[in-house]
Chain A
Amino acid sequence: MTIATIGDVEFGIELPTFEPDTSLATGTRFADLISWDGVRFRDHEGAKKEGFQGAIIPGILNQGYLVAMIHNWAPPAEVVSVDTVFRAPVIADDSHSITGVVTDIDEEDGKVEIDLTVTNDKDETRVFGTAVIRLPT
């Protein structure tokens, strides 16, 4: 079910799980697009030499996945804020999934708070954060 108004949202409701494209090709294309240098975004072997498990997905792209997930669920949502804590790098070419749940609703202001967690296929949390969105009343 997609969300149109704040009346459609219930506390504790889960957003549809989002499987972001964390391929190396996408990470590299994104790094090029925003002019971020660094072999760590472009090459597994080069990233390993820098101490990573493999090439990593730029942190901002992780934030972008979270927002895309919210819009997939609630197309009219206006993002008020997104706050992310990077616990561990998101490794390119590993599969990841993003879960989200509604943890607060302010019907008067039309605001909804969402917990967001990026996990890898071992169910390890790589990134977590919260987003506040505004929905039509």
Chain B
Amino acid sequence: MDADIEAVRGKYLNLDFDENEFFIDPAITTEYARLCGETAERFLDPEHPDFQASPTYIASLSGRRMLPKDFPRFGIGMDAGKAIECFQPVRPGKPITGRSHIHDIFTKTGRSGRMVFVVMRIEFYDQDGNHLANADSRSVQREKSQ
């Protein structure tokens, strides 16, 4: 692995760089579920005893920063995929906390320069500190040749 990427990994990997509180609005989560084509009532009906946000809803929540404040810019960033992991339901009507960290950094090297892949993870917790879910955003930055 390139020395500068090794250094960036050492400096940023798995260290929280942002914490943000999100109020989970039932009106938004129900509309979100409806637009996705959900049919299960627990995502659509606020009166349902197991009412919860659609599992992918957390992927729409972004922190105040997408990357650490002084994280090096290698080039223009592009979306390279998304993943979610769910541990417990996200309950609308209550706030949750999202903590962001860089989960992985790796490169591919090409004729037009390096491509730097960054996986940014937000871990979501409820008010009791229960870990509810993770949302990963994979992005790639294309670096210009020197």
Q: Is the CB of B36 within 8 A of A61?
A: yes
- The verdict on A11 contacting chain B, using a C-beta distance below 8 Å, is no
Q: Report chain A residues within 8 Å CB of B145.
A: none
Measured in the bound complex, the distance between the Cα atoms of B92 and A97 in whole Å is: 30
Q: Is the interface of B mostly helix, strand, loop or mixed?
A: mixed
Q: Count of A residues near B, CB < 8 Å? A: 31
Q: Which residue, of B38, B56, B59, B80, has the highest number of chain A Cβ atoms within 10 A? A: B56
What's the least CB distance linking A57 to chain B, in Å? 10
Q: List chain B positions with a Cβ less than 8 A from chain A.
A: 28, 31-33, 35-40, 43, 54-56, 59-60, 79-86
Chain A to chain B contacts (Cβ below 8 Å), 25 pairs:
A20-B37, A33-B28, A33-B32, A34-B60, A36-B60, A59-B79, A60-B56, A63-B82, A64-B33, A65-B37, A66-B56, A67-B36, A67-B54, A68-B39, A69-B37, A71-B40, A72-B39, A79-B55, A80-B86, A81-B83, A83-B83, A84-B82, A85-B81, A86-B79, A86-B81
